A and B are shown apart, each in its own frame.
Chain A
């Protein structure tokens, strides 16, 4: 029996390069699309699983999936070049405008209908555009499986269970989970350089494109219609304070001024 892994990835705009229009909206034209850096971490962990299982002569299959327009097949090709085996693009106008709940629902039906005998789902913990970190936990619930978040490494894996390293602000833990389970990783920018074989594989691999009717899905729960949360407004943040400017003063005077402020702040405290 092949050990099946599903890696969920997202195409995101390169947020390190955002420019504002004069109308205070984000300039979307010409914004590069990349694989969400945390999702590359997820692919890395899937490969780590495969590496350990192959030592036990167990076959693995890494399925990579994304939801998006046809251009999103670029990141799937990339993922195959990095080592994934099968690629799926969930593409349908009805999917668009999905929030995390509708996204998790759509992904869960993909997994239930296409890879029902999966052993692990691995996701990047969050996407750099939204930063919500909600989809993995939501997906685990929709699949009724265990979840481990904040994962930075794999310690042990066999057919029945795996042990993961979870790194949080307060502790580092080794957590064991039975399969199936969902793993969300905070590893990012792990540099997987595809080799020539990877590129050849990516060229040969046919991406399976699925729409809403292929997934046997409730169309009231997907896309914009199925998304309870809506953006009411988006804007650039500013604090509006009545600023006093101090210019052309010596370092001594500036220092004195700040010390005076510190003393005032402390007096108010008493």
Chain B
């Protein structure tokens, strides 16, 4: 029997999410002989609209569990369909994006199969015996834990932004359509009203990120982060400390659950570097930290540590670009 890894493909607007592509990229870079397969739960219309992409992300097999009922996400029904499929497919490893839906679907599915699950991982390793070592931040992001599971499939959800998307090898993808047995299904919950939030562009995969922390001292100074990112066509970000001071919204906080970043260049102005922040920026190609405190933890995590006043450097850069 071939050893295989299964990836849950989450679609949004007929596109696989970045996190799905990030997981598959990571698996291709893991260099082993395992099959990489994908499973998507969808209605056929959405599949048709997304298949051009789904057939070009280097999968060996793509399982399409389809029914018109899947046009909207219902945790219980999606989970039941997935459980039935996993009982037949038996992968060694099963990975899913730790999105809001993923973090709801995964535990319900794992529980039905009585298997272990590791949540919101920021790194994975696959051993020679096809076991998964899943690493995640714990204790409020202050400690890392590497977790193994004694049940198969080894199941984990992966934090968005934890891995980079790379070029996919070209592979002939074999498509298998599956019609689930939904005869016993009851819709248990009903959405009465839904207000969509305005979607900001995904800043976590920006090329350059300009980030600010408590070292900027005032909200007024933090505005310089926005100003410089605008001039550079980069994305602004903030440390937890700056968010807690009310200088920046939580939506641009680096390092909390769900927001790891992987830019080419990460500029950290006045950030000391709590562990959850360092974990969140670990995939940056290059990190430059500007801080008056040479011994701040971020300094030896950076490629370049500039011991200087972050505010003065920011002001100088802004005047140069203007």
Contact string, B110-142, partner A, CB cutoff 8 A, digits 1/0? 111011111110000000000001000111111
Contact A237 B279 (CB under 8 A): yes
Contact B191 A173 (CB under 8 A): yes
Q: Which of these, B104, B150, B199, contacts A149 with CB under 8 Å? A: B104
- Interface hits, A223-266 → B, CB 8 Å: 227-239, 241-249, 251-252, 254-259, 261-262, 265
Q: How large is the interface on A (under 10, 10 to 19, 20 to 34, 35 or more residues)?
A: 35 or more
CB distance from A125 to the nearest CB of B (A): 9
A174–B108 alpha-carbon span in the complex (Å): 22
Chain A residues near B321: list those with CB within 8 A.
259
Chain B, interface SS category: mixed
Contact A174 B191 (CB under 8 A): yes
10 closest residue pairs by CB, A with B = A228-B116, A146-B188, A15-B140, A229-B116, A137-B107, A255-B316, A138-B111, A134-B107, A132-B119, A251-B312
Q: Which of A49-57, A79-87, A110-118, A176-184 participates in binding chain B?
A: A176-184
Contact string, B205-221, partner A, CB cutoff 8 A, digits 1/0? 00110000000000000
Contact B189 A148 (CB under 8 A): yes
Chain B residues near A231: list those with CB within 8 A.
145-147
Total inter-chain residue pairs, C-beta < 8 Å: 247
Q: Identify the interface centre among B118, B207, B294, B321: most chain A CB within 10 Å of its CB.
A: B118
Q: Identify the interface centre among A230, A241, A246: most chain B CB within 10 Å of its CB.
A: A241
Chain B residues near A6: list those with CB within 8 A.
none
**Is there a chain A Cβ closer than 8 Å to B44's Cβ?**
no
Q: Which of these, B108, B145, B309, contacts A251 with CB under 8 Å? A: B309
Chain A, interface SS category: mixed
Contact B191 A175 (CB under 8 A): yes
Measured CB to CB, the residues of B under 8 A from A are 75-76, 79, 100, 103-108, 110-112, 114-120, 133, 137-151, 188-197, 199, 207-208, 232, 257, 264-265, 267, 275, 278-279, 281-282, 285-288, 290, 294, 299-309, 312-313, 315-317, 320-321
**Is there a chain B Cβ closer than 8 Å to A129's Cβ?**
yes
